[in-house]
Amino acid sequence: MRARRKRGAGRKLAFLLTLTAFTGVISACQVGDTEVVLTSEFSKNEVFRIGDESCTLSEAKVFLANYQNIYGTAYGVDLWAQDFGKNSLEQYVKDLAISQLAQMISMDLLAKEQEISLTEEERAQIEAAAKAYYDSLSEAEISYMDVDEDCIRELYRQYGMANKLYASLTQGISGEVSDDEARVMEAQQIFVTSSESAQAVSAGLENETDFLSLAGTYNEASETEVTFGRGELPAEVEEVAFALQPEEVSGEIVTDEGTYFIKCINNYNQELTDANKQQILEQRRKEAFNDVYDAFVATLSSRFNEELWDSVRVEASEEIQTDSFFEVYEEYCKF
């Protein structure tokens, strides 16, 4: 076996399926017209079927083992060793593993319908990734997951097809997002719900009382220092706030919830605006993708072996430490 990769909290996990906000999977393995059936209707160790494809227990355990180690540690603390919330954490990683596999297989089916395939170079990258990941596993991990290199290769193939499908369905989305649409500003706010408080704040501002001093006395919002972009505040507040210049203070802005007062600190934060452009663009891509994906998922039938999956338990032990499945894909597969 190869030496184990160094684990770290700062690992980059560009896991496409967690970024696309699918609506097709609502609970553990619910895709299209889901039917929960008895174990006897499945072949041995079959966790679920979607259309004419299925997921085996070995494949599901690959995702489960990785997720339990990715999510089982926070800030250097082993959450599995704590007395609180173990059952809920176990259920979370089990639900996450099975739902992501269901999404991936659904995307693989859609990719086939869209006649999307892997190139020879992409297949070679998947081959290399499968070998690298399999070689990183200990004997205990291989035994727990009951996998061979062919199983890992098939998972990477499906994962690669999901990535290619997403890229194909979103390639026509414009990369142009205007500065004004993405603009993020920094401000201070005072929010009050009574007319008496609003009058007191207005009087204080007229007397040139320091804004933060008034906020300390009257602000009912959880924060005074805020950053926000378009669509994050009530329309009445947004209209006034985005017209302010640095150090300018608004008058009363009355909304259905209460009254706002806004002081502009920076009406255009470049760094946050650039980041918001990427978020807006990604949201456009998600919406374009989901238009096609949701329609396709609605045509699928699926069956979930609830009895088998309920019997699976997370093996939180020193012997099961693998957490690099997605990281290895990123390293080897450039598509």
| In a domain? residue 5 | no
Alpha helices in 171-265 (DSSP H): 179-182, 195-206, 211-218, 235-241
CATH for 97: 1.10.4030
Judge if 167 and 291 occupy the same domain: yes
More confident of the two residues 219 and 313: 219
Judge if 197 and 289 occupy the same domain: no
Judge if 68 and 102 occupy the same domain: yes
Q: Are 150 and 133 in contact (CB under 8 A)?
A: no
Q: What pLDDT does 273 receive?
A: 96
Residue by residue, DSSP assigns 97-143 as HHHHHHHHHHHHHHHHHTT----HHHHHHHHHHHHHHHHH--HHHHH
| In a domain? residue 93 | yes
pLDDT of 3 over the 60 cut: no
Judge if 77 and 36 occupy the same domain: yes
Q: Give CA–CA dist 258/265, Å, rounded.
A: 22
| In a domain? residue 274 | no
Which residues are CB-contacts of 270 (< 8 A; sequence separation ≥ 6)?
A: none
Q: What pLDDT does 175 receive?
A: 74
At 55-101, the pLDDT tens digits run 999 999 999 999 999 987 654 445 565 555 556 888 889 999 999 99
Beta bridge partners of 212: none
Judge if 29 and 81 occupy the same domain: yes
Q: What pLDDT does 315 receive?
A: 80
Judge if 235 and 323 occupy the same domain: no
Judge if 163 and 204 occupy the same domain: no
| In a domain? residue 10 | no
| In a domain? residue 161 | yes
Q: Give CA–CA dist 64/248, Å, rounded.
A: 53
Q: Are 282 and 18 in contact (CB under 8 A)?
A: no
The pLDDT of 180-209, averaged and rounded, is 97
Judge if 209 and 250 occupy the same domain: yes
Judge if 87 and 223 occupy the same domain: no
Handedness of CA 97, 324, 147, 112 (dihedral sign): positive
Q: What pLDDT does 71 receive?
A: 84
Judge if 146 and 122 occupy the same domain: yes
Q: Give CA–CA dist 200/192, Å, rounded.
A: 10
Of 211, 233, 267, the residue at which a domain comes to its end is 267
At 205-232, the pLDDT tens digits run 999 999 999 999 999 999 999 999 999 9
Tokens of 12: 């980059």
Q: Give the number of domains in the chain.
A: 2
Tokens of 154: 């098939």
Helix axes 57-71, 86-113, angle to 10 degrees: 130
| In a domain? residue 272 | no
Type of residue found at 78: D
Judge if 125 and 87 occupy the same domain: yes
CATH for 251: 3.10.50.40
Tell me which residue of 113, 126, 93 sits closest to 328, measured CA to CA: 126
pTM above 0.75, yes or no: no
| Integer CA distances (angstroms), 208 to 160, 168, 237, 249, in order | 61, 57, 22, 11
Q: How confident is the model at residue 12 (pLDDT cuts 50, 70, 90)?
A: very low
Q: What pLDDT does 244 receive?
A: 98
Judge if 202 and 129 occupy the same domain: no
Range of the domain at 308: 16-173+279-332
pLDDT of 33 over the 90 cut: no
Tell me which residue of 170, 171, 130 sits closest to 147, measured CA to CA: 130
Of 267, 287, 320, the residue at which a domain comes to its end is 267
Of 267, 287, 303, the residue at which a domain comes to its end is 267
| In a domain? residue 7 | no
| In a domain? residue 225 | yes
